[in-house]
Structure 1
Amino acid sequence: MAHDQQDHNTNLKRRDALKLLATAAVAIPVVSMAGHAAAVTAKTKGAELIYRPTDPDMLKPIVPWSMTLTEAELSDLELLANIIIPADAQSPSAGSLGAQHFINEWVSAPYPQQKADLVLVRGGLVWLNGEAKKRFGKAFAQLNTDQQRQICDDIRYEPKAAANLKHGARFFAKVRDLTATAFYTTEPGMADIGYIGNKPTATFAGPSDEVLRKLKLKS
């Protein structure tokens, strides 16, 4: 029971920290190459999509490039996403919302940054499975939850990671950032941080007195 409570507290702290990082991403809309920042659905996996050099159709977004990652890589990324943002009483896990497909869309884009991230993510997944086999004799997906978390805990913060784990820590940091972006730009993710924008209202009462005082617009 004590171990379960510790895991629960750790998950809450992790979620709170990610909320702080995500607030800016929600307050300043993320510009996705496809015209949307939410996770790409399974329908686009591996599909050849037509490029249309016009303003994006926000109601029917498309991704103008093919997806790169394999099913096995997506499966491992889903596991990582669920470790990074697990399900709780307030919202579902990042993997269940399709964070891995958002990562696939991102690293498949034909731009320098995304190409570099593809190398980092793909190489990191190879490293992850190699580390899992070295420690436990099995691929990462075949490990139990405690074994998976053991590896993730060792690479969760690059400055404190062991020298031989620095590459894994850089990989994990990238996956964590992309997972948070994917999760907190979905409706459940925005609800998780209490974001109430992007909704039509019949009236607008204006900013509260508290906000006005904070901006020194009211005494």
Structure 2
Amino acid sequence: MDRRTTLQWMLAASAALGVPVSAGATPATRKGAKPTGYGTDPKLTQSYKSGELWPLTFNAAQNRTAQALCGLIIPADAQSPSAAQLQVHRFIDEWVSAPYPDQAQDRPVIIDGLAWLEAESAKRFGGKRFDQLDVAQQSQIADDICWTETAKPEFAAAAKFFQRFRDLTAGGFYTTPEGMKDVGFVGNTPSVTFDGPPLKVLQIVGVA
């Protein structure tokens, strides 16, 4: 997957998530201060090498954890591959690395959450990494943080992380061709053949 593809994916998902991803107001601007800016948006008609536009955030360990969690949130089924197989974690890395205010707010939430997930996995399962756990073990951790409304106080921060990560996973997955096919979205593909107005209508307007 090249960088242009992940950037286009990120922009499509941002529209689905209802989050603006474009040059504009920084937090300082919103408070009435003089904006500092963060440069121009990338040109999506050309290809870029990884890290050429902005450095990516995830290291190898974080990529493994993020990919495993993506696969747990949207597993493979008879209709489509899993979010892990579709490399949705790369989209999330691109997202939290982007130099925009909303993405910058997500970055510490995701990074701290992945660290918590690894620590919790090691504590509960004898030092194992999250990606080394089976689905039942991963689910045991996820069940404690899957809803912010019902999570225990000690899991409150982790539950907020999971909520945001789940939203990003869904946003990334359902803006891939496979994800759109999974929900039956066909975009601007015509569903019927149009042969023009009926003859009677053409006769009424005097062109037939």
The TM-score normalised by the length of structure 2 is 0.69
Residue type of the partner of 1:104? Answer: D
Alpha-carbon displacement from aligned partner over 1:157-188 (angstroms, at most 9, x marks no partner): 01100110111111111110110011000000
| 1:99 and 2:106 aligned | no
Q: Deviations over 1:69-101 (max 9, x none)?
A: 111101111100011000000000011111100
Aligned residues: 164
Number of the residue aligned with 1:190:
180
Higher Cα radius of gyration:
2
Q: Name the residue aligned to 2:170.
A: 180
Q: Report SS of the residue matched to 1:152.
A: helix
Unmatched tracts of structure 2, length 5 or more: 1-12, 23-37, 196-208
The question of whether the paired residues in 2 share the 8 Å contact of 1:52 and 1:64 is answered with no
Q: Counterparts of 1:91 and 1:121 in 2: how far apart (Å)?
A: 26
Task: Give 1:89-128 correspondences, 5 Å limit.
Answer: 89-128=78-117
Deviation at 1:54, TM superposition (A): 7.1
| SS of 1:137 mapped into structure 2 | coil
Bigger drift between 147-156 and 130-139 goes to: 130-139
What whole-Å deviation, never above 9, does each CA across 1:37-88 have from its counterpart, x for those lacking one?
Answer: xxxxxxxxxxxxxx99478335x46573121111110111110001100000
Once the two structures are superposed, the pairs formed by residues 9-24 of structure 1 within 5 Å of their partners are none
Residue in structure 2 matched with residue 69 of structure 1 by the alignment: 58
Paired residue type of 1:25: A
Task: Confirm or deny: 8 A CA contact 2:42 2:53 kept in the other structure.
Answer: no
Deviation at 1:145, TM superposition (A): 1.9
Provide closer, same or farther for how the CA distance between residues 61 and 189 of structure 1 changes in structure 2, counting only shifts above 3 A.
Answer: farther
Match of 1:57 among 44, 50, 67: 44
Cα drift, residue 201 of structure 1: 7.5
Write out aligned runs for 1:1-40 (5 A): 25=16
Q: Secondary structure at the match of 2:79?
A: coil
Q: Which AA in structure 2 matches 1:149?
A: S
Secondary structure at the aligned position of 1:158 is classed as coil
Shift, 1:144, TM fit: 2.2
Residue of structure 2 aligned with 1:86, choices 47, 62, 75: 75
In the aligned structure 2, how far is the partner of 1:122 from the partner of 1:188? Answer: 27
User: Which of 119, 123, 132 is residue 134 of structure 1 equivalent to?
Assistant: 123
